[in-house]
Amino acid sequence: MPYTWFTLERLGVVDWLRRSACPKKYSVQFVSITGRVSQPFYFFQTIKHECAVTWQVWRGEFDAMLLDNARSKGAEVRQGVAVRDVIEDGARVVGVRVDTPDGGSRDVYARAVVDATGRDSLLSRRYGWKERDAELNKVAVWSYYKGAKRDPGLDEGATTVAYVPQKGWFWYIPLHSDIVSVGVVGEPGYLYRDTRDPNLIFQREVQACAWIHDHVKMGTQVEPVRVTGEYSYHSQRIGGDGFCLVGDAFAFLDPLFSTGVFLALKSGEMAADTLHAALLANDVSAGRFQEYYEKQRHAVTSFRRLVLAFYDLTFSFREFLQEYPELHSLVVDTLVGNVFTDLTPL
């Protein structure tokens, strides 16, 4: 998502991405159920800034780079350590209890704790704050191909979203080393309609989507099929006395518009700024995180509104913008990640 660039620049890692083999992503395109391919939505047509060019990253490599960057800037990094629980002093979180690589356990104390446990959502589960999004009850089934078809020119690194029946879609994401990530998202009743075998589901849907089938037929599937469910959720709160939540530990939204990395990085940046001010003031109470919560909730809600519109079979973005052309810029702002602004008219 283009507006991820600003956090990456602040972290000092944009040059790493420029030097990397990660394909450049200039656009997103959509394929209708009938196979009609939209004109690519080129970010540079509406954003006159360097952030209009993004990258398709392998998450493992990308995350390792971010970890190394943190280490190089003075963070103490411990790998192979799993957080088992938090340590409380009354209602205040004062540290974490961890399992160590040697099979032991250790208590680690801190002035503030950040829950970055992702979809494990350690603290929102612990405190009963986690809420599933019943309107976005989806399942994802995906794999990877080597040697699959890529579009020419600027579109080589484009993300393609291909509609499937019954409120679903395929993603097609080119990665480096001639690998493409291919996955289908749909409602459980649709994807599990005649089998629960992930391989059969995946191949059935690939065969049924002409654009996807045409692109993968020349490639070779090189990874097992994976499945994940309980797709979208959020936490009722984003922090308490002595702690806060970031990224997927706070909320996860259907990845239709590739919001995951953006929300993770942006929430991490905002949480860091909030904690910096709180520690300087020697006040890491729950109230310190209220503004952070409101901004993150606003961002997730803004993205969610467009995701729900996509899944509404009676809704058309084209018709909507024809009727309300004055809202075009706000739709674009949401799609590129400029969501920490007033989007009330939408």
45: DSSP letter:
G
Helix (H) or strand (E) run with residue 98 in it: strand 92-99
pLDDT in single tens digits along all 346 residues of the chain: 999 999 999 999 999 999 999 999 999 999 988 888 888 889 998 899 999 999 999 999 999 999 999 999 999 999 999 999 999 999 999 999 999 999 999 999 999 999 999 999 999 999 999 999 999 999 999 999 999 999 999 999 999 999 998 889 999 999 999 999 999 999 999 999 999 999 999 999 999 999 999 999 999 999 999 999 867 999 999 999 999 999 999 999 999 989 999 999 999 999 999 999 999 999 999 999 999 999 999 999 999 998 998 888 777 777 887 888 888 788 888 888 998 887 777 7
Decide the pairing of beta strands 92-99 and 105-109: antiparallel
Would you list the DSSP string of 210-223? HHHHHHHTTSEE-S
Radius of gyration of the chain from Cα atoms? Answer: 21
Domain 4-60+138-228 matching CATH 3.30.9.100: the answer reads yes
The C-alpha angle with vertex 219 and arms to 20 and 157, in degrees rounded to 5, equals 35
- How far is residue 106's CA from residue 152's CA, in Å, rounded to a whole number? 53
- How far is residue 146's CA from residue 216's CA, in Å, rounded to a whole number? 9
- Rounded to two decimals, the pTM is 0.92
Q: Which residues pair with 227 in a beta bridge?
A: 141
Domain boundaries, the chain: 4-60+138-228, 78-110
Would you list the DSSP string of 268-294? HHHHHHHHHHHHHTT---GGGGHHHHH
Asked if 54 and 64 count as a contact pair (C-beta separation under 8 A), the reply is no
Decide the pairing of beta strands 159-164 and 27-31: parallel
Give per-residue pLDDT as tens, 57-86.
999 999 999 999 999 999 999 999 999 999
Decide the pairing of beta strands 220-221 and 82-89: unpaired
CB atoms within 10 A of CB 198: 17
- How far is residue 304's CA from residue 253's CA, in Å, rounded to a whole number? 7
Asked if 138 and 221 count as a contact pair (C-beta separation under 8 A), the reply is no
Asked if 174 and 164 count as a contact pair (C-beta separation under 8 A), the reply is no
Q: Which amino acid is it at 340?
A: F
